[in-house]
Amino acid sequence: MGKYCSFKPIGNHIIFIKKHSKKPEKQTETTVTIKGQIISETDQKIAYATIVDYDKNNSTLSDSNGFYSFTISQKSESISLLFSKENYYDTIIYLRKANSSNLTIHLHSKPKPIETFQKLEPKRIFFVTSNNIDEYQLVQAFVSPEMLNHAKNLSFQEKRFAQTSLLPYLGTNSWISGSIINHFSVNAIAGYSNGLSGFEIGTVLNISKQDVKGFQIAGFGNITGGNTKALQMATVFNQNAGNMTGLQMAGLSNVVLDTLKGVQIAPLNFAKTNKGFQLGIINVVDSSDGVSIGFVSIVRKGYYNLSLFTDEMVMANVNFKMGAHSFYNIWGLSASSQMWGLTYGVGIHNHPEKKISFNYDLSFTNMSYKKAFEIQVCIKTKLSADLNYRLSPKIDAFAGLSYSIFSSDKIIDTELQQYVSDITNSYIIETQFKSVKIQLWPGAQLGLKWRM
């Protein structure tokens, strides 16, 4: 083949070119204008179709009536133009010794897929209005409508070693950057690509239409329209429309609109399905088989439980548990005739599907004695284990053992310390560390739980 013809790749296409027997003459650069109209096989006008000259990394769009005009600087003896439109087959025109001319291009529509089931629109999740990142206002603020049209029309993904850009439309990949997968990418302000397979850094924003693999860091945020398998870091946010495997770290928020299989670390973490690990102040998921550690963890299809019980110290206790069986938060209130307390804690629930299950909790209660609220730190730290017996689909009876550590000021809180000693009787162990008195004792609890 090499003796008689050569080939030229254009995206996912290859053009075979017959070689001349004579040595080609040295070409001088000339300017030619190719114009015409793009229509379908049924003579329908095709608006906003993409025309690309890959030799010059140049492109344009047809207008609303399908007309186009494309001025090209020609130095080689031929020009290869790609005509592409979403839902149509690509057409490549190869022009040897091109002159300014008029070309009417016919694009053939692709057959519509046979849908055996009714197509369902993806559900909108909480604050997310669309899974298509091209519809995000922040993306549209940086990426022009022309670039978005090019990215939509070009069905192939070309890989390039490196690119640099000031803004999405001011870069080495020019207006077709939405169809390019980069191995190395540097964005002085913001960049737009089809995807990443390597390393990318952006001062403000990195926008990837499809998948990201490797390492991505942004001064403001990363937006990914496909799946992510990477270390993703941003000062403000990471937003992913697909699955996430790897590590996300952000100063404000991480969002995964499909399945999290890696780690999220940020004040606010969101994932549709959590099969990984979240660490933050607030974690929000739709369903979870993973672990979410935070001050508040909201799991829509998760574990919600209201407990009413008594223990060795306080007659009436109410605890609300929310999160996942693998890890939940505890919010509680305790009260007796002379003392009351507010509780926060964490725990896990083992064998939730069985008639007999177990809860293991670590809680912290700030106790107030004969006061509306205790200003001093009077903390009861309690480690407990409960055995639950299911009485009905919604109600469990439970009993458990615990061990508590009470810390208070040895001078100011003498009344409260004496009350604790009287209640816990001879089981208490007392010690002190500097100005803090520490009281330790074993205990038990008994009550009912309502599965919400």
State the Cα–Cα distance between residues 203 and 191, nearest whole angstrom.
10
Per-residue DSSP letter, 77: S
Angle made by CA atoms 172, 176, 179, in degrees to the nearest 5: 110
Beta bridge partners of 236: none
- Write the DSSP string, 228-280: EEEEEEESSEEEESS-EEEEEEESSEEEEEEEE-SEEESSEEEEEEESSEEES
Q: Which single residue is written with the structure tokens 């870091």?
A: 233
Beta bridge partners of 344: 331, 364
State the Cα–Cα distance between residues 406 and 419, nearest whole angstrom.
12
- Write the DSSP string, 100-120: SEEEEEEEPBPPPPP-SS---
Q: Which segments of 117-264 does DSSP mark as H helices, in order?
A: 137-142, 145-153
Strand order in the sheet with 30-40: 67-74, 30-40, 101-107
Domain ranges of the chain: 26-107, 133-287, 303-451
The CATH classification number of 303-451 equals: 2.40.160
State the Cα–Cα distance between residues 103 and 33, nearest whole angstrom.
11
| Other Cβ atoms closer than 10 A to 398 | 19
pLDDT of res. 57: 72
125 touches 131 (CB < 8 A): no
List the chain pLDDT tens, one digit each, 452 residues. 555 555 555 555 555 555 555 555 555 667 788 888 999 888 899 999 988 886 667 888 989 999 988 887 766 667 778 888 988 988 888 776 656 678 888 899 888 776 554 554 544 554 455 678 888 999 999 998 898 988 888 877 788 999 999 999 898 988 888 889 999 999 999 999 999 999 999 999 999 999 999 999 999 999 999 999 999 999 999 999 999 999 999 999 999 999 999 999 999 999 999 999 999 999 999 999 899 999 999 999 999 999 999 998 888 999 999 999 999 999 999 988 888 899 999 999 999 989 999 999 999 998 887 766 666 678 899 999 999 999 999 999 999 999 999 888 766 667 777 878 887 776 778 888 778 888 899 999 999 999 98
pLDDT of res. 430: 80
Phi and psi at 140, nearest 5°, equal -65, -25
pLDDT of res. 411: 66
If DSSP states are collapsed to H, E and C, what string results for 295-342?
A: CEEEECCCEEEEEEEEECCCCEEEEEEEEECCEEEEEEEEECCCEEEE
Among the listed residues 333, 311, 306, the one whose alpha carbon sits nearest the alpha carbon of residue 403: 311
pLDDT of res. 1: 53
93 touches 81 (CB < 8 A): yes
Q: Which CATH class is domain 26-107?
A: mainly beta
Burial 232-255 (b: 16+ CB within 10 A, else e): bbbebbbbbbbbbbbbbbbeebbb
Among the listed residues 155, 15, 32, the one whose alpha carbon sits nearest the alpha carbon of residue 80: 15
- Write the DSSP string, 354-382: SSEEEEEEEEEEEEEESSSS--S--EEEE
pLDDT of res. 120: 47
Q: Which single residue is written with the structure tokens 């309502």?
A: 450
Q: Which single residue is written with the structure tokens 């992913």?
A: 240
146's tokens: 């022309």
